[in-house]
Structure 1
Amino acid sequence: MRASRPKVALAAIAAAALAVAGCAESDRDDEGSSGNKKDTLVFGVAGDPKVLDPSFASDGESLRVARQVFETLVRPEEGGTKVSPGLAESWTPDAAGTTWTFKLRSGVKFHDGTDFNAEAVCVNFNRWYNAKGLMQSPDVTAYWQDVMGGFAANEDDTLPPSLFKSCTAKDETTVDLAFTRVSSKIPAALMLPSFSMHSPKALEQYDASNVAGSADDIKYPAYATGHPTGTGPFKFKAWDIANKTLTLERNEDYAGEKAKLKTLIFQTISDENARKQALRSGGIQGYDLVGPADVEPLKSEGFNVLTRPAFNILYLAINQKGNPKLADLKVRQAIAHAINRQALVDSKLPPGAQVAVNFFPETVEGWNGDVTKYDYNVEKAKSLLAEAGASNLTLKFHYPTEVTRPYMPNPKDLFELVSADLQAAGIKVEPIPLKWSPDYLNATTSGSDHDLHFLGWTGDYGDGYNFIGTFFDRQKDEWGFNNPALFEKFKKADTTADQAARVALYKELNADIMNFLPGVPISHSPPAIVFGKDVTGVKASPLTDERFATAEFKS
């Protein structure tokens, strides 16, 4: 899951959302409508969703909502990362590996009563592929560009050619998706909520592709703020930004097993301790991003704490563009040796966290234990700095505020520990704390006025390219380096059809990355999610793909 850097006019979204918002608070008392069984769950989240159309979403809270309202052709297996059937029952490539045939489920309807079929699939793909204007901004269609590259007619010379080529509806339940080349991303990337299927009728009715404004002031259409229309087990009901609630209701016409809950409310409570207290008081019945120190106490109190498998990475990024000293490999090696990563894992992260050896976890194929490792060694760090003529180095160190991430539970605490390590090795640190969104994300993923910063990633699907390719497959402002040989090897890995050969290339790439050392992989952390003592039925997902349709209250 990418760290988004939205530049959205929130006031415009709020106005549109409030126009359709009902009183979500009143739903909380509707617990007796199906007998004595409770059927409304209020779940505490750390932040507001940014947008309700997942085509434009890259933040976790928007995608959490989308996963309940929309469905994709393929989806992750419950509790895992393997590709499994979604709206498609099966999928097969042609001999060249460039055209995939999907057999679709029959009898599925969108929330507005229209049919889901092959034509609807093509409407969705053609909408993305033929995007124009601001829809081609990386701040609007981030995941399309991560996966597919460019569009039918690129309006920016820096955009690559599109991986997607065409969609053909062969009959009501058979659709061909053609691509310009073999790619490791297909079909796994189609699990992303950004490739959710939308009602063609609703897309047209609410002018869903009419993204207006400017790159610094994006204004989304009514569809994206108040009329998301999918096929999922829940339907959108209201988004009350003023009261920080988003309400979904059960889709009574769902083609699969209907949700056990009648109403699902996402309540934004940004402070972690406040979420915990709301759970204990009964104001909410679950929340995400449980603090590491709270896991065992909440378990002992009888709450249902679920620990996700560690499928993420926290890293310290080193920007080689802004400070010429950081382009010296010895300086980057010194930084790596200066950090006591094991102490950080032991003192700041939840049980089960591990020091990272690669930029993706051991559970992903292509992980390589035989790479250059940088043990904690202050004297070696000082020696390397001296050899590089950088003994008096001063670095700007950005860290985020007002945020909790699955891989980064307490950013200020992590900064203080790593900053002390660097200073012990003789590196002076200039702390630069910034609000997570949009200040921190804009500052660290664009421009050159940043030396060091924390960032991370929760995997979208179980392929190594989704981690290291996302970070290092081309020149990016976050890292500020140009390494054509590395970029070419990524291109080769992505276009290698044979899985075993691709995995071997991932192992080589992990070795190359740790030799080049664009940053320091810090840790993999198993984040926790908690539910009330009487809530059951939800299975933790390494992809944060928890399915609230299966949640229910014990009798």
Structure 2
Amino acid sequence: MKKQERKPMSLLKMTRRSLMAAGTALALTLAAVPGAQAQTPPGVLIVGQIAEPKALDPAAVTAVNDFRILMNVYDGLVRYKDGTLEVEPALAESWEISEDGTEYTFKLREGVKFHDGSDFNAEAVKFNFERMLNEDHPYHDTGPFPLAFFFSAVENVEAIDDLTVKFTLGSPYAPFLSNLAYPTGLIVSPAAVEQYGADFGRNPSGTGPFKFAEWRSNEAVVVEANPDYWDGAPELQAVVFRPITDANTRTAEMLAGGIDLMVEVPPVALSEFQSDAFQVFEQAGPHVWFLILNAKEGPFADKTVRQAANYAINKEALVNEVLEGTADVAAGPTPPAFAWAYNPDLEPYPYDPEKAKAMLADAGAEGAELTFYVTEGGSGMLDPIAMGTAIQADLEAVGFDVKIETYEWNTFLGEVNPGLEGKADMAEMAWMTNDPDTLPFLALRTDAWPDKGGFNSGYYSNPEVDALLEEARVATDQDKRAALYKEMQTIVQDDAPWVFVANWKQNAVTSDRVENFTLQPSFFLLLDDVVKN
């Protein structure tokens, strides 16, 4: 855990007005002196985000872009240990789990207050989860809460006393603690929700290292240091999150000194930051980029043809040439970032076009026509048009006849998520998850077919995989869970319901004035230890 002592806080307190003035000065500098290195204020970190946040209510959003702000404003009962996806105490000092795995009792930290001055206690925790889960809760209408299903196993939340809260689950649910560490489990101020109602997402209040200051639409979200943070006051005076949606513009701003930290650097731009003026960071995370194959109808209903597609695609060339080395070749459905659950014995399908041709001949699928859905870009996608074009060429080289249909991201999801039946044979997809249960449970089980409410858009079905996943999510022993997931991975890799393409290594660039920054495997930004000179 992080050290508990308070960190020294700079005497200089930057006001909202001075932050706005700093932003104006930066803009004038960049406009007046093209290519000049601007000087952002010391103690204030300017972050180039990929988009405007949807809201600052952690229960109401799903995008990593939003989570990168929220993780600095709020805390959960637990959090991910630095550099890992393992949970450790946060607002809860400790917890006990009943023998049957259905009761979690948390002892809470004493003396913690929300940024609005109200008390953090067991009743606040109860309010948070009942707001999400109970339709008759008086503030349920401050949603919607799209990831509330993370806590669907919760039947009751009871405030035993001021500093003790008990969750009762309908059945054992192994990912429960991991889900509590995810942003959906962050704890908001009930008093602020009661004050602002549906506008709480524009007026957030948490217990985190930074307090919300202002949100200027399409310009910036500003947060200021919380000097009373229970885990020690942050080093920075403030953080300014600027939405810069165009990657080339973000790169230009970083090179010119208009921002101090840039996330999701385009692979082709990384070489521009190879100087002493910048620091480039890379970190593997729980990400997998894959191709959904329609296992219900068409050529890919045949397992041999699905395997042939995996042999046909030169994934090494994709990650090294198209993605400029910013990813590793994926071996199966579980990212290696889940070290305890990952099966290290799996080797990726090798690139073997001659074997692919022979397999297609054996299956009588030579010249098979394929409709391939490609997106222009979206959450966790890796240069999808360039990747799709390269994949099309590899598949055609072994005898497939591939037609690409390209869609804007939200339209693409509207085509893919309801299922590929009657529409397409394959589609690009990417997932970033917080637990090894999430992706296979939502996208590989028979009961996760689209007509049953899941994301198994290719209609893959294997009763053995179903049974392993059902058993793993109720197993309270992690070693047993790990063994079940590893067996699942072996079966799924052989069944090849997907083409397993890449595990992204997220990246970021900072200026040389930034110290103590690290990337987390969770893909979130944790900025309370960062220093800006």
Q: TM-score, normalised by structure 2?
A: 0.86
Per-residue deviation at 1:29? 6.3
Is the Cα–Cα contact under 8 Å of residues 78 and 539 in structure 1 kept in the other structure? no
State the partner residue of 1:179: 169
Q: For 2:306, which of 323, 332, 342 is the aligned residue?
A: 332
Unmatched tracts of structure 2, length 5 or more: 1-15, 27-39, 451-456
Unmatched tracts of structure 1, length 5 or more: 1-20, 149-161, 208-220
Q: Name the aligned partner's letter for residue 93 of structure 1.
A: I
Q: Distance in 2 between matches of 1:409 and 1:299?
A: 22
Q: Name the aligned partner's letter for residue 201 of structure 1.
A: A
2:87 matched to 1:111?
no
**SS in structure 2 at match of 1:422:** helix
Is the Cα–Cα contact under 8 Å of residues 27 and 263 in structure 1 kept in the other structure? no
State the partner residue of 2:11: none
State the partner residue of 1:164: 154
Range with greater deviation from structure 2 (91-100 or 384-393): 384-393
Is the Cα–Cα contact under 8 Å of residues 285 and 522 in structure 2 kept in the other structure? no
Q: Distance in 1 between matches of 2:67 and 2:41?
A: 29
Q: Name the aligned partner's letter for residue 454 of structure 1.
A: E
State the partner residue of 1:239: 215
2:354 matched to 1:387?
no
Per-residue deviation at 1:51? 2.2
2:68 matched to 1:68?
no
Is the Cα–Cα contact under 8 Å of residues 292 and 409 in structure 1 kept in the other structure? no
State the partner residue of 1:465: 437
Q: Distance in 2 between matches of 1:23 and 1:445?
A: 46
List aligned pairs for 1:18-167, cutoff 5 A: 25-28=20-23, 38-131=42-135, 140-145=144-149, 147-148=150-151, 162-167=152-157
Deviations along 1:63-121, one digit per CA (max 9) or x if unpaired, are: 11211111100001122222111111111212222111111111111121100001111
Deviations along 1:33-60, one digit per CA (max 9) or x if unpaired, are: xxx9712221111122222211121111
State the partner residue of 2:267: 292
2:286 matched to 1:311?
yes
Range with greater deviation from structure 2 (280-289 or 339-348): 339-348
Per-residue deviation at 1:123? 1.0
State the partner residue of 2:353: 378
Identify if the C-alpha distance between structure 1 residues 549 and 371 changes in structure 2 by more than 3 Å, giving closer, same or farther: closer
Per-residue deviation at 1:414? 1.1
Q: Name the aligned partner's letter for residue 238 of structure 1.
A: E
The two structures, once aligned, show a CA RMSD in angstroms of 2.7
**SS in structure 2 at match of 1:56:** coil
2:241 matched to 1:266?
yes
Q: Distance in 1 between matches of 2:61 and 2:285?
A: 23
Is the Cα–Cα contact under 8 Å of residues 74 and 86 in structure 1 kept in the other structure? yes
Deviations along 1:223-271, one digit per CA (max 9) or x if unpaired, are: 22x1222111222233333x34222222344333222223212111122
Q: Name the aligned partner's letter for residue 517 of structure 1.
A: A
Matched-pair identity in %: 31
Q: Distance in 2 between matches of 1:516 and 1:351?
A: 28
**SS in structure 2 at match of 1:97:** coil
Per-residue deviation at 1:27? 4.9
Identify if the C-alpha distance between structure 1 residues 199 and 310 changes in structure 2 by more than 3 Å, giving closer, same or farther: closer
2:474 matched to 1:495?
yes
Q: Name the aligned partner's letter for residue 236 of structure 1.
A: F
Is the Cα–Cα contact under 8 Å of residues 166 and 177 in structure 1 kept in the other structure? yes
Range with greater deviation from structure 2 (408-417 or 335-344): 408-417
Per-residue deviation at 1:335? 1.3
Q: Distance in 2 between matches of 1:247 and 1:372?
A: 45
Q: Distance in 2 between matches of 1:106 and 1:37?
A: 36
Q: Distance in 1 between matches of 2:398 and 2:136?
A: 50
Q: For 2:518, which of 532, 539, 552 is the aligned residue?
A: 539
Per-residue deviation at 1:30? 9.2
Equivalences, count? 493
Is the Cα–Cα contact under 8 Å of residues 475 and 482 in structure 1 kept in the other structure? no
**SS in structure 2 at match of 1:108:** coil
Is the Cα–Cα contact under 8 Å of residues 57 and 142 in structure 1 kept in the other structure? yes
Q: Name the aligned partner's letter for residue 509 of structure 1.
A: M
Per-residue deviation at 1:140? 4.3
Per-residue deviation at 1:403? 4.4
State the partner residue of 2:394: 421
Is the Cα–Cα contact under 8 Å of residues 475 and 481 in structure 1 kept in the other structure? no
Is the Cα–Cα contact under 8 Å of residues 292 and 428 in structure 2 kept in the other structure? yes
2:342 matched to 1:342?
no
Range with greater deviation from structure 2 (295-304 or 179-188): 295-304
Per-residue deviation at 1:290? 1.5
Is the Cα–Cα contact under 8 Å of residues 22 and 41 in structure 2 kept in the other structure? no
Identify if the C-alpha distance between structure 1 residues 308 and 132 changes in structure 2 by more than 3 Å, giving closer, same or farther: farther
Q: Name the aligned partner's letter for residue 300 of structure 2.
A: L
**SS in structure 2 at match of 1:525:** strand
Q: Name the aligned partner's letter for residue 295 of structure 2.
A: Q
Deviations along 1:339-359, one digit per CA (max 9) or x if unpaired, are: 111221221235473221121
List aligned pairs for 1:389-468, cutoff 5 A: 389-403=364-378, 405=380, 408-436=381-409, 438-448=410-420, 449-460=423-434, 463-468=435-440
Per-residue deviation at 1:23? 10
Identify if the C-alpha distance between structure 1 residues 37 and 413 changes in structure 2 by more than 3 Å, giving closer, same or farther: closer
**SS in structure 1 at match of 2:72:** helix
